Structure 1
Amino acid sequence: MMEGASAEYVVLLALAALGFVYVLRQVFMFVKWTWQTLLRPGKKLSKYGSWALVTGATDGIGRACCMRLAQEKINVIVVGRSPSKVQEVVKELESKNVQVRSAVVDFTEEDLNAGLARIESAIAGLDVGILVNSVGLSYPYAKFFHEVDAQLTRNLIRVNVEVTTRMVQMVLPDMLKRRKGAIINVGSGAASILPSDPLYALYAASKAFVDQLSRSLYVEYKHSGIDVQCQVPLYVATKMSKIRRASLAVPSADTYAKCSLKWIGFEPRCTPYWVHSIMWWIIWVLPESIIDTIRLRSSLDVRRRGQSKDSRGKKE
């Protein structure tokens, strides 16, 4: 009897110890999240250099990052495809008393090497300390994989994969010479948070490339003074997301950019906006099959509405 009671006591003690370790781990994770997301001050971005190069700078997250960088007195090189929008952003930045250069490049419609050459010309002689790879392309609306045509396939891979890669290759050599720099690649929850993104498969796959590229480069170049990071948003109220009204779960581009800059130079992968990080945890906790089902239903609804809009356009 004594031996049996002793064995039960040992088992209960072991279970209690495991429970204590689990609770302690959860408390530690919560404290860590609170510090990183809500309390930790951002780094002084000017330590990387006096210039930031921003792609996709005329709309959404890219434009908002330009304005926030200017508030930090970082000079900005604006890269966008619309000449009028580029000039609009340039004028707004100049009103904030920073130096501005620009390059008009449409990565989907011209020779890529020619466009990159114009960017190289714009940054010549500048100490570009920060690269924000914000340019990105998604589907016009949800589509099954077999419905994605060759042009969209080409453009999406070119913009999300090749341009991101080539921009990093452009700035990296000078950063290595100076032994300092920050590279921020804008990823997507479609690749890093959701277990799958049905009807946006190619987009999600291209952003998975961005995620893994960033994580690997972080390890490669961390000891050379270069901070590479993939920032992973969920929905932000931008032209690309087709969400016009901001909310607690869907921040404005400016709100997101404010959080984004505070994370530069820290972890290799992050979700800068605090509500998105909570949503990430909820998605992580739920069974993948539930998330897959919810996402598929949502995408099918988006596809239906997109096809309906296309049909109305053809009739008109």
Structure 2
Amino acid sequence: MEFWFIVQHFKAQPIWVRFLSFLGLFCLSKFTLMLLRWVYVSFLIPGKNLKKYGSWALVTAPTDGIGKGFAFQLARKGLNLVLVGRNPDKLKNVSDAIKAKFGKTQIKNVVVDFSGDLSEGIRRIEEAIEGLDVGVLINNVGVSYPYVRFFQEVDEELMKNLVHINIEGTTKVMQALLPGMLKRKKGAIVNIGSGAAVIIPSDPLYAVYAATKA
């Protein structure tokens, strides 16, 4: 009886009210499906066997934060590692820590300063991965502002580094690894983005950084 009353009441509403009601229901349903998909992908979907892509993984900027976390998790999954960073001492510390925890992991350290000569750095990477079945790339290298700035305050050197590292660096690393993946017909590439380019597309005071990560 109550349902019948609701239906009759709805039919009695002006057409624009019914249209807005359907629009609201559509948006709510879409949001609910997106939320359920996120829960499934984040918590319920079975993990992939990363070794099926290859026995090696390459991680850029692996000495801190997200990159370091990826390096440890990949080693936990049984993959050998090519670690690419600019500080040889930090690379050694991370390598030693991973080997201490996962003794069977083979690790190659490659010193590359992505703010410098990329051609030389990419050459070192190509030499390091020659003959290795690198099946996973974690493209984590990136820089941001040292502190918030208005767009007109971003100096030329900082803007050059943001574009050079965040865009050119990640692109050229992919170019170095893709031929081997295509030859083996398998591989996985993860380019680390940022909430600055997704949650807040026009991130105030970080405009150039947000653009490079987008």
- Tell me the TM-score normalised to structure 1 length: 0.59
Mapping 1:1-316, distance limit 5 Å: 8=12, 18=22, 24-95=29-100, 96=102, 97-108=104-115, 110-208=116-214
Matched to 2:98, the amino acid is L
Runs of 4+ in structure 1 displaced over 2 angstroms? 7-12, 14-34
2:86, 2:114 within 8 Å by CA — same for their partners in 1? Answer: yes
Deviation at 1:146, TM superposition (A): 2.1
SS in 2 for 1:136: coil
**Is the deviation greater in 30-39 or in 87-96?**
30-39
1:278 alignment partner in structure 2 = none
- Secondary structure of 1:129's match? strand
Structure 1 residues 16 and 140, CA, compared in 2 at 3 Å: closer, same or farther?
Answer: closer
* Whole-Å separation in 1 of the counterparts to 2:32 and 2:211: 34
- Aligned-partner residue type, residue 34 of structure 1: V
Identity %: 49
Instruction: Name the stretch that deviates more: 31-40 or 199-208.
Output: 31-40
Counterpart code for 2:207: A
- Which has the larger displacement, 84-93 or 28-37? 28-37
Contact 2:145 2:206 survives alignment (8 Å): yes
Alpha-carbon distance between aligned partners in 2 of 1:77 and 1:100, rounded to the nearest angstrom: 6
- TM-fit CA distance, 1:94: 2.1
**Counterpart-to-counterpart distance in 1, 2:154 and 2:43:** 40
Equivalent-residue separation in structure 1 for 2:90 and 2:211 (angstroms): 29
Is this contact kept in 1: 2:201–2:210, CA < 8 A? Answer: no
Give 1:176's aligned amino acid.
L
- Give the aligned length: 201
The 1-side partners of 2:71 and 2:174 are apart by 18
1:226 equivalent in structure 2: none
Structure 1 residue 161, shift from structure 2 partner: 0.6
Relative to structure 1, the CA distance from residue 58 to residue 16 in structure 2 (aligned partners, 3 Å threshold; closer, same or farther) is closer
Question: Which structure 1 segments of 5+ residues have no match?
Answer: 209-316
Give the letter for the 2:136 counterpart.
I
Cα deviation per residue 1:192-217 (whole Å; 9 max; x = unaligned)? 22031121111111111xxxxxxxxx
Once the 2 structures are TM-superposed, how far is the Cα of residue 93 of structure 1 from its aligned partner?
Answer: 2.1
Deviation at 1:30, TM superposition (A): 3.4
C-alpha distance in 1, partners of 2:164/2:69? 24
The amino acid across from 2:129 in the alignment is I
The gaps in structure 2 that reach 5 residues or longer are 1-8
Q: What is the rounded CA distance, in whole Å, between the counterparts of 1:71 and 1:198 in structure 2?
A: 38
**What CA deviation, in whole Å up to 9, does each residue of 1:150-204 have, x standing for no partner?**
2211111111010010011111111111111000000111112203112111111
SS of the residue 1:54 aligns to: strand
Calculate the aligned-residue CA RMSD, in Å.
2.4
**How far off its partner does 1:44 sit?**
1.0
Say if 1:87 and 1:9 are closer, same or farther in 2 by CA, change over 3 A. closer
Q: Choose 1 or 2 for highest CA Rg.
A: 2
- Superposed displacement of residue 11, structure 1: 5.8
Deviation digits for residues 242-273 of structure 1, max 9, x if unmatched? xxxxxxxxxxxxxxxxxxxxxxxxxxxxxxxx
CA distance in 2, matches of 1:195, 1:10: 37
SS in 2 for 1:202: helix
